[in-house]
């Protein structure tokens, strides 16, 4: 079944048990992103610390398993890392997802996020996977502005 | 079970795509005709043949091919006029889709180039739509309200997914210039009570338009019997090609309306500083029309007529009853829309607790080749009204079978297993 | 004589209709491509195949067929972007024809829903076109002037059929908001001096649009190199299907423009009382687009690219030179338009003393199967300027031959005999 | 050659030697009709006499052989006849021309005008043949109004 390439166990796990979900204080910036084609929504807050650290990423939203799991995976990867590191991961994630299934993912950079490789083959779902990650990038820009 | 007279297996053979296998050896179970229908060989072949043997521009060409194309194109207009019971073929305007037809009428209002008082619009005037409309019957009126300062109002929708007429006396009033509602909802399946709304529109002297995108393909529709002023529908949902739609309008109103798009074919005579316009329908068909698409749509109307719209409707009613019944067995499944087949078409939208429709659709497709539509189906306000971001929608047509509905139910059980 | 590299006989085999026999055993001599071109099997077959095996609605559908259709449709956009050198695929808006593209831009002006000052328009503002325009590049601007109170002005045309730029300094001035002219005239064949007009438009801060309906099919056109703001053209004249056209616009301007048609696909989010819109190009593609037509147009672009636009242009130049020469031998024949191939395309319009073009066209068709266009070719003001009610027009394309031109000349001699 | 069915000798004769052409005084009504698709134009004047007679039909115009010959034939048929007779001919002519080549013309009623039977097969030219005849009908209405 083709399904298996998209609904990885890891994605389903994150969907059923989202990590770091809920909006928390304090935060430096909050953004709200919507995927108009499907109505998936996310509100995301970022709190930066000293030395370019990401202190907290908190979020709330609604949407499909892909968009919710992507937010959960993002939380795990980002909180505690440096802004720079996470931007690298976001770039690689974006490259993977927009690669129409032709891109070989860099597992070292992506970690768990590599589970989304199968999504890249479904153009209609790519935006779901990217929703949280684009919101995060946007929030970073606003918190450092 | 479908009726004996209606041989769905024979019909399926007319649609080449239905015998297709999807990647991974999945059969195709196409339950997305409300989005766009498949095309029978009769339509595909008519278009191919026209391109390969008869094509040229219409109206303006006086040579042999020009006559053949013009004859075929204008005959398609006759066929469409017959198909919807239009009192005159000149009331059938070819557009590119239903959306263009709706916009065309919206742009007729508040246009300084128009003089008829029925199409004047400004602050204080009102436009009435409903909460169950497709975006194509919402946004054109929002844009019109924005251009003219008029006010947009709407019918609410009941919990059962019916038009709520309780406030109609206040909603449709002397300030109302036009009421535009769906004949049949593309989400709920609800068939709206046209006569009741029309009666009130007539009382206050408002015009009335029907978005018949979801009714004309599925039921016999007679525009004269309906008694409204405008009806828009679209070719691709009625086994016709993409790129073609129809706006029907009362001849007298089409005469009174200002032109919409300017260009070749819609003129009578042009000087640099002014022009006079051709009579309808040509007045509204600027530029080279979707020639072969109109001809293909004529073939589609022929096809549906040969099967019989009553038979199509009866078949769909059986499928709907069967589906409403079968879906009841799926745990947590909630149908959004009427629960029985009374005044409703073959479109069934639903939610499953805790599982997003995108996941439902994807798994149905990936695992079983079942094509349904997921999302807000271009009816976001309706979903907001029900407090849900999206639904899964199965929509049936003449080529669907009860065993495809069985496959859907099996698929939904599988979806629930994945997410349990 | 055509060049060795360009094998016109091989090309003719790609177009099924060219081997057709007309009633009465007449061969088909198709010299009406300026009106609409014929289609190669590659285009016809691509469309048939898509309908028969891959069709579904685009954008919104998440199932296998939905992906296949969306992929094919958006790939067609890529192809068209490449074909015209668009800096971004998002600048390619699919319309139903060139006329819709021209109207779309015209409706962007003076629209209360738009805020960008470049698109504001009212009394005192000016729109500049020319006397050689097709009605589709006249009437939309007349309607705009009518809606907004702006003034429509135009370039005159010289006796040789060239744009008369002598008064450009006064004509295009600080009040000018947009200049819209044909890239190539559909009657005269004249290719207009875009750079000179654009330079003046830029001086005064006006936008500039090109009606490229007659240039994109016949010459390599690079919108970035041209440097204008908008370019409209139409599929059916470039070996593509009916029902599809393209509006190219600078991304930044498309962003700034208010939406035109409202409906599904052009929105970001919809509430009952307001909406937000998708970014271009989708903002301007309301409703289900001409899906299979766009895919067919992609195949047409591929076809022309495989033949090579330079080769097409060279072939047409040879045909034009040959025709201008051969037609000179027909007594009383007067060409309306440039007499040589300098800055002119393969469209030759002419009059014959004392014989009405309708009679010319009819006899050419009846007696010899020669299809030319007769009348004012949707350019009535240009005919008024030359003081003639109509012309006979032969227009050539990649599949035409010098022997077809010989047949035309023989036919014209016969016409003169009938009326002598 | 198919041509022969349309360009009858009689039509060509009338075109080359139009009868009654030119605008004359006196007249009861003048109308101007245009065929927008091809630019054919006709100005037509009608002068009625006593007892429902048509005293004169005078016209001027430009256009193709079909439209010009149709005017000339009309002149011959109408001048000197009664209004009622000519209306009968106009009706029969219209029926013939709009019959898509399927109508059997009544030669007794039509006289020379039967030569236009071949035109009925060419939808694009039907309007040319009818131009003068419709103008005539219009002029009649206005002169008796
Ligand atoms: C110069 C020119 N502009 C515009 C058009 C209009 O194209 P369309 O009829 O496809 O809208 C044409 C052809 O008819 C044309 O030749
Ligand atoms: C009820 C309704 N109205 C309007 C439309 C718009 O039709 P189209 O996209 O062909 O313009 C649709 C289908 O998308 C529809 O279901």
C122 near C150, Cβ under 8 Å? Answer: yes
* Strands in C42-171 per DSSP E: 92-95, 126-130, 151-155
Compute the average pLDDT of residues A85-92: 95
- The pLDDT tens digits for B363-374 are 999 999 999 999
With 70 as the cut, is the pLDDT of residue C4 above it?
no
HSE-CB for B32 with a 13 A CA cutoff:
29
Give the pLDDT confidence score for residue A40 in this predicted structure: 86
Tokens of C253: 């301007």
Compute the average pLDDT of residues C283-302: 98
CA dihedral sign, ordered B354, B360, B366, B367: positive
- The pLDDT tens digits for B92-124 are 999 999 999 999 999 999 998 888 999 999 999
Tokens of B208: 């009335």
CA distance B234 to B100: 9
The DSSP code sequence of B190-247 is BBP-HHHHHHHHHHTT-EEEEE-TTTTTTS---HHHH--SEEEEEGGGTT--SS-EEE
With 90 as the cut, is the pLDDT of residue B210 above it?
yes
- pTM score, two decimals? 0.95
Residue B119: exposed, middle, or buried by beta-carbon count in 10 A (0-12, 13-18, 19+)? buried
Q: Is the CB of residue B214 below 6 angstroms from any atom belonging to ligand 2? A: yes
- If chain D, 145 residues long, is cut into consecutive pieces of 10 residues, what is the mean pLDDT of each piece? 66 94 96 84 94 94 93 94 94 92 89 91 87 96 84
Beta-bridge partners for B191 = B184
Torsion-angle region of C300 (φ positive above 0: left; ψ -120 to 50: alpha; else: beta): alpha
CA distance A19 to A71: 8
Tokens of B317: 């009613």
Pick from C52-56, C103-107, D121-125: least confident: D121-125
Least CB–CB distance from D65: residue in C23, C356, C390: C356
Fold matches, B8-30+308-419 and B46-305 = no
DSSP state of C20: P
Asked if the Cβ–Cβ distance from D66 to C359 is below 8 Å, we say: yes
The candidate with the shortest Cα–Cα distance to A113, out of A55, A66, A46, is A66
The candidate with the shortest Cα–Cα distance to C261, out of B102, B184, D134, is B102
Compute the average pLDDT of residues B221-233: 98
Give the pLDDT confidence score for residue C60 in this predicted structure: 67
Helix axes of B64-83 and D123-144: crossing angle, nearest 10 degrees: 70
The DSSP code sequence of C247-264 is EEE-HHHHHHSPPSS-ST
- The pLDDT tens digits for C234-258 are 999 999 999 999 999 999 999 999 9
What percent of chain B lies above the pLDDT cut of 70? 99
ω before D26 within 30° of 0 (cis)? yes
Residues on chain B touching D63 (C-beta within 8 angstroms): none
Asked if the Cβ–Cβ distance from B60 to D122 is below 8 Å, we say: no
On average, the pLDDT of chain B sits at: 96
Q: Is the CB of residue B395 below 6 angstroms from any atom belonging to ligand 2? A: no
Tokens of C61: 């559908």
CA distance D114 to D116: 5
* SS3 assignment, position B182: strand
The candidate with the shortest Cα–Cα distance to C2, out of C304, C307, C217, is C307
CA distances in angstroms from C197 to B279, C129, C165, listed in the order given: 36, 11, 8
Asked if the Cβ–Cβ distance from B356 to A63 is below 8 Å, we say: yes
Give how far the C-alpha of residue B166 lies from the chain's centroid of Cα atoms, to the nearest Å: 26
- The pLDDT tens digits for B6-44 are 899 999 999 999 999 999 999 999 999 999 999 999 999
- The pLDDT tens digits for C330-362 are 999 999 999 999 999 999 999 999 999 999 999
DSSP state of C157: B
CA distance B54 to C87: 37
C-alpha of residue B347 to centroid of ligand 2, in Å: 14
CA distance A77 to A86: 7
- The pLDDT tens digits for C142-177 are 999 999 999 999 999 999 999 999 999 999 999 999
Tokens of B63: 């040579």
Q: Is the CB of residue C264 below 6 angstroms from any atom belonging to ligand 2? A: yes
CATH of C8-30+308-419 among 3.40.50.1110, 3.90.1150.10, 3.40.1390.10, 1.10.10.60: 3.90.1150.10
Stronger pLDDT, B5 or A10, i.e. the higher one: A10
Give the pLDDT confidence score for residue A102 in this predicted structure: 86
Beta-bridge partners for C79 = none
CA distance B369 to A118: 18
The DSSP code sequence of A75-108 is HHHHTTSBHHHHHHHHHHHHHHHTTTT-----HH
In the 3-class helix/strand/coil scheme, how is C32-65 assigned residue by residue? ECCCCCCCCHHHHHHHHHHHHHHCCCCCCCCCHH
Interface D:B, ≥3 CB–CB pairs < 8 Å: yes
CA distance C92 to C81: 6
**Can C378 be counted among the known catalytic residues?**
yes
Catalytic hit among C104, C168, C253, C378: C378
Pairs from A28-34 (Cβ < 8 Å, separation ≥ 24): A28/A142, A28/A143, A29/A139, A29/A140, A29/A142, A29/A143, A30/A139, A31/A135, A31/A138, A31/A139, A31/A142, A32/A135, A33/A131, A33/A132, A33/A134, A33/A135, A33/A138, A34/C268, A34/C269
Give the pLDDT confidence score for residue D5 in this predicted structure: 65
Phi, psi of B337 (to 5 degrees): 130, 175
Give the pLDDT confidence score for residue B2 in this predicted structure: 45
| CATH of region B46-305 | 3.40.640.10
Kind plus residue range of the DSSP H or E element containing C394: strand C391-395
CA distance C312 to C239: 12
With 70 as the cut, is the pLDDT of residue A145 above it?
no
Give the pLDDT confidence score for residue D36 in this predicted structure: 74
The DSSP code sequence of B124-188 is T-EEEEETT--GGGTHHHHHHHHHH--EEEEE-B-TTS-B--TTHHHHS-TTEEEEEEESB-TTT
CA distance A68 to A62: 7
CA distance C307 to C231: 23
With 70 as the cut, is the pLDDT of residue A44 above it?
yes
Q: Helix %, strand %, coil % for chain B, to 5?
A: 40, 20, 40
Contacts for B143 with CB less than 8 Å, ≥ 6 apart? B106, C113, C259, C262
The candidate with the shortest Cα–Cα distance to C182, out of C191, C170, C171, C169, is C191
- Among the bound ligands, name the one nearest to the CA of residue B210: 2
Contacts for C176 with CB less than 8 Å, ≥ 6 apart? C125, C126, C127, C128, C201, C204, C206
Q: Is the CB of residue C332 below 6 angstroms from any atom belonging to ligand 2? A: no
Q: Does C258 touch chain A (CB under 8 A)?
A: no
CA distance C377 to C371: 14
Q: Is the CB of residue B180 below 6 angstroms from any atom belonging to ligand 2? A: no
Interface probe, candidates B57, B62, B275, B278, chain D, greatest D C-beta count within 10 A: B62
CA distance B164 to B92: 31
Residue B166: exposed, middle, or buried by beta-carbon count in 10 A (0-12, 13-18, 19+)? exposed
How many residue pairs from chains C and D have C-beta atoms closer than 8 A? Answer: 56
CA distance B360 to D90: 69
Q: How many residues does chain A have?
A: 145
pLDDT-based confidence at B5, cuts 50/70/90? confident
The candidate with the shortest Cα–Cα distance to A69, out of A12, A138, A3, A6, is A12
Spell out the domain ranges in chain C.
Answer: 8-30+308-419, 46-305
Contacts for B253 with CB less than 8 Å, ≥ 6 apart? B118, B207, B229, B230
* SS3 assignment, position C201: helix
Interface D:A, ≥3 CB–CB pairs < 8 Å: no
CA distance D41 to D33: 6
CA distance C37 to C58: 27
CA distance D116 to D129: 8
* SS3 assignment, position B374: strand
CA distance B132 to C30: 51
DSSP state of C315: H
Beta-bridge partners for C370 = C29
Q: Give the residue from chain C lying closest to A39, CA to CA.
A: C269
If one counts every other C-beta atom within 10 angstroms of the C-beta of residue B102, the result is: 32
CA distance B374 to B360: 8
What percent of chain A lies above the pLDDT cut of 70? 96
Q: Does C67 touch chain A (CB under 8 A)?
A: yes
């Amino acid at each position: 079944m083709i399904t298996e390439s998209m609904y990885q166990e890891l994605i389903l796990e994150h969907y059923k048990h989202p990590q770091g979900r809920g909006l928390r204080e304090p935060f430096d910036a909050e953004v709200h992103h919507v995927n108009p084609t499907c109505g998936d929504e996310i509100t995301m807050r970022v709190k930066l610390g000293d030395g370019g650290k990401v202190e907290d990423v908190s979020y709330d939203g609604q949407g499909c398993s892909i968009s919710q799991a992507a937010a959960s995976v993002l939380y795990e990867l980002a909180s505690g890392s440096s802004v720079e590191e996470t931007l690298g991961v976001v770039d690689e994630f974006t490259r993977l997802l927009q690669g129409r299934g032709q891109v070989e993912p860099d597992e070292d950079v992506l970690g768990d996020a590599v589970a989304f490789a199968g999504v890249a083959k479904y153009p209609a779902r790519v935006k779901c996977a990217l929703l949280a990650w684009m919101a995060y990038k946007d929030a970073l820009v606003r918190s450092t502005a | 079970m479908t009726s004996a007279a209606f041989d769905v297996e024979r019909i399926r053979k007319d649609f080449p795509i239905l015998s297709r296998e999807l990647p991974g050896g999945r059969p195709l179970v196409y339950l997305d005709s409300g989005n766009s229908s498949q095309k029978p060989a009769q339509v595909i072949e008519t278009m191919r043949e026209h391109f390969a043997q008869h094509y040229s521009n219409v109206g303006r060409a006086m040579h042999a091919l020009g006559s053949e194309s013009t004859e075929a194109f204008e005959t398609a207009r006759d066929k469409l006029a017959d198909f919807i019971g239009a009192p005159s073929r000149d009331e059938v305007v070819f557009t590119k889709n239903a959306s263009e037809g709706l916009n065309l009428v919206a742009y007729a209002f508040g246009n300084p180039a128009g003089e008829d008082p029925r199409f004047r619009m400004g602050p204080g005037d009102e436009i009435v739509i409903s909460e169950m409309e497709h975006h194509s019957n919402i946004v054109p009126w929002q844009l019109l309200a924005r251009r003219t300062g008029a006010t947009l109002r709407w019918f609410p929708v009941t919990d059962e997914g019916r038009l709520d007429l309780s406030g109609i006396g206040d909603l449709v009033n002397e300030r109302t210039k036009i009421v535009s509602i769906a004949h049949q909802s593309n989400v709920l399946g609800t068939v709206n009570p046209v006569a009741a709304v029309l009666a009130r529109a007539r009382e206050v002297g408002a015009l009335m338009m029907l978005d018949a995108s979801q009714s004309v393909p599925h039921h016999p529709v007679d525009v004269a019997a309906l008694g409204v002023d405008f009806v828009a529908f679209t070719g691709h949902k009625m086994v016709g090609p993409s790129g073609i739609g129809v706006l029907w309008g009362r001849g007298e109103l089409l005469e009174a309306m200002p032109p919409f798009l300017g260009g070749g074919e819609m003129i009578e005579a042009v000087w640099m500083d002014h022009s006079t316009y051709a009579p309808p329908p040509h007045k509204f068909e600027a530029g080279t029309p979707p020639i072969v698409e109109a001809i293909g749509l004529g073939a589609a109307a022929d096809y549906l007529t040969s099967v019989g719209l009553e038979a199509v409707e009866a078949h769909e009613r059986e499928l709907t009853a069967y589906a409403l019944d079968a879906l009841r067995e799926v745990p947590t499944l909630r149908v959004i829309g009427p629960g029985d087949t009374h005044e409703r078409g073959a479109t069934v939208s639903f939610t499953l607790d805790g599982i997003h429709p995108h996941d439902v659709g994807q798994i149905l497709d990936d695992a079983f080749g079942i094509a349904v539509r997921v999302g807000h189906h271009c009816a976001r306000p309706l979903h907001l009204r029900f407090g849900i971001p999206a639904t899964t929608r199965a929509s049936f047509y003449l080529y669907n079978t009860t065993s495809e509905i069985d496959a859907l139910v099996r698929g939904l059980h599988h979806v629930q297993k994945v997410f349990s």
